[in-house]
Every structure is written in C-alpha cells, then in structure tokens.
Structure 1
Amino acid sequence: MLAAQEPLVRWDWLGSHLDLLGERAVEHLGLTVVSFVLGTLIAAVLTSVIRRWRWTTGPITTLTTVLYTIPSVALFAALIPVFGVGTTVPVIALTTYSLVVLTPFLVSAFDQIDPPVLDAADAMGMTRGQRLRSVELPVALPSVIAGLRVTAVTIIGLVTVGGLFGLGGFGDFIDEGLTRDFPTLIVVGVIGSVLLALAADATLVAIGHLASPWRRPRGSSLDAAEAAT
C-alpha cells in the first residue's frame, strides 16, 4: 500500500508550536532591523563622502558593485568558518548587502536636486546643515524612501537565505522542512517571510507619507485625521 501523503499544512502542528513561530519571527525581525539600521547609517556616510569629495564616486561605486556581485549563499558560507554560527555572520552579510543596495539610491536622490534650488538656499544664508534639513532632505525624500523599501525587502529575503545555514529566522523552518520532508515548515517559512516583507514595505510607505504631508492629495484620510486632532 502507498504511504499516506503528507498534507501541505498540518494545522495541529501550527496550533501546538505558536511559541516557536513567535521565536522565529522575533529572530527574523531582529536581524532585519539591526542590519537595516547599520546599513542605512553606513550608506548615509558613504553618500556624504561622495557628495563632499566627488573623486570618491568611482572607488565607492566600484566597491559596492563588487560586493553586490558576491552571491549571498557564498558570503554566508565564507563568513561562518571565521565567525561561527551566531548573529555576527548574518549581521555582517546583511549590513553589507543593505549598504550596497541603498547607497546608489541615496546618491541618485540627492544628485537629482536642481542646482538652482541649492543656490537659492545658499543665497538665503543657510548653513550646510540647515540646507540639508530644510531643502535637500524634503526634495530627496521620495527617492530615499524608495531605496529604503527595496533595502528592507532585500534584507528580509536574505535573512531567509541565512536560515538555510542555521542562522535563525523563518529560513530555519524552510531548511528543516526540506530536511524532514515536512511541507508545513516550508509553507510557514515562506509565508512568514512574505508577510514580514509586506509589513515592512507598508510601514515605510506610511512613514514616507507622514514625513511629506505636502505630497499628499487634499482631502486624504491622513489629512482628515490630522485635522481632527
């Protein structure tokens, strides 16, 4: 007789392992947030360097391009023998990929600002910091948010890849499901990663709308909420 086929989702398993689901979700989110913040800070520094010293554009662009060509699986595999299995490996790898993805977005966002706008700010006597806060950031914000969205979703996907090496997150479910031929774990790992990516993207979109009220259409729900308060 043929063995009974394993169902795609074992609901009884899900109900009895909610604590494990929460643990993996926290691991995935934690690795994402730490790597996202570190990558954003480093990308901001690199962007500032490029804007201040234009001759650094070539070397920095070349470096980020070379790093981007390294397959994620190869990078994880190369770092594990050096740092062992733990949070150090995914944080290094994910931070590297995040700054590689985000830096070109930031450079392009600020390069697209019309020079007359900057000249007008200088003519008003603004300092470099005032010009950045009051003129450059508001103009560049949509492109910056777009870069942050791509970066966040990329990191969440790569955390899943890291799970195949036992580095935590929803990828652990996928790895274990493939090893045990247990489809439920694979489905949970995939759906968990997708939902986390959608939530991160929606959060950044909302932040972008809140941070740029002048770009919202009149009569929007956000405007109504602000008026009510």
Structure 2
Amino acid sequence: MILLIVILVLAGLAVAGDRVAAAYAERRIASEVQKEGFGARPDVTIYGFPFLTQVLDRRFPHARMTAHDVREGPLTISTIDGDARDVRVNSGFRSGTIGSVDGTATVSFGDLTKAAGEPDLSLTAAGPDTVKAQVDLEVATATATAKVTKVGNGIRVHAVSVEGFPLSDLGDDLDFTVPVTGLPMGLTFKSLKVSSKGIVLRITGSHLKFSD
C-alpha cells in the first residue's frame, strides 16, 4: 500500500511538472510569435504528452494558435485560428520555425464594410459565397444580393441583383474590393466562404520563422 501511494504521488508530481513546463513553453512561444505582426499575444496550445520529451527535443509536432482583433491595414480580423505543425525552437525559446500552418481568419461583416468605406452598409449571410444587403436608394431601401469572391489578394463584394429596381440603380454602393495583403507571419490567403459570423478566409503558410 505504501509503495502504491508513493508511486501515485510521484506520478502526480510528474504530471504536474509536465503541465508547468507546457504552460511555460506556450507563453514563451506566444510572446515571440506576437512580434511577427500580432497586436496582442496570441493564445498558443501545445498538444502531446509527455511534454518534457518535446522540450528536450525543442520540437513540438502539433500546436494551435488563436489571436483576436488583428489589424491588417484598414481591415480588422476578428479571429485568426491556425493549426501549426512541426514547431521548432532554439534553446532559449527566443526564435524558431513553424513547418506549416493551416487555419482560418474571420472578418466580420461590419469590419469588412468599414474597411471598404461603407460603414452604413448592412450585410448578412445568404449562402456560401453570397450576402444580402440593405441599400439606401434615397427613394427607398432596397434588398440586394451580392457575390463574395477572392480576387487576387482581396475580398470582392459585387452586386448581382436587387429586388424591385434595376441593378444600375445601386451604382458602386455594393461593388468594392478590400485588400488582404499583410497577414501576420507571412501567412497567405487561399480561399474564402461566407458564414453567419462574416467572411471566413482560409490561410496557410510553410517554413515560417519567428523572432530571428
């Protein structure tokens, strides 16, 4: 019985020590990654157990990074959520590389229209690549449908129909492109879809360095 208690105590201490080391590594990596274009320190979660073996190797096969309210030129990205693979750090946790990142960047409808210079324009999701908009035509408020597409490194919103009025009456009120060019860490924007939360961009990157 005494031996069993000793084993359980030692096992508990080992688990506690493992988690303390994990928390320290997550904070250190997050602080260095922040310097690569994040306005605030992102949340970093490192997966895998036991953790101490990863620390000794200074290599973490799988981690996740989440950041909020990231400014990208005139655009505010409400959430960046990335799945990181093969994270390697130096002995002082002050620099490293990430083998690959695959994730999403969500832009709210309000932040999108604000960046486009149309803060009064109200958008709602209407399909995987479609939004509805209430547009003031002076004589009346019209409901318009617009497609959302990736054009180069930008998000394009382009009207395709308007209820009860000719499309030409909209002018340029629902035809704009917002560039997405300076994502943190050199991440790139590959595709997009419309969701109830806004425009969800698929972002990727490979062989990313932080805090050289």
Which TM-score band applies after superposition, normalised by the shorter structure? under 0.3
Q: Which is richer in helix?
A: 1
TM-score (norm 1): 0.23
TM-score (norm 2): 0.24
Identify the structure with bigger relative contact order (alpha carbons < 8 Å, sequence gap 6+): 1
Highest CA radius of gyration, 1 or 2?
2
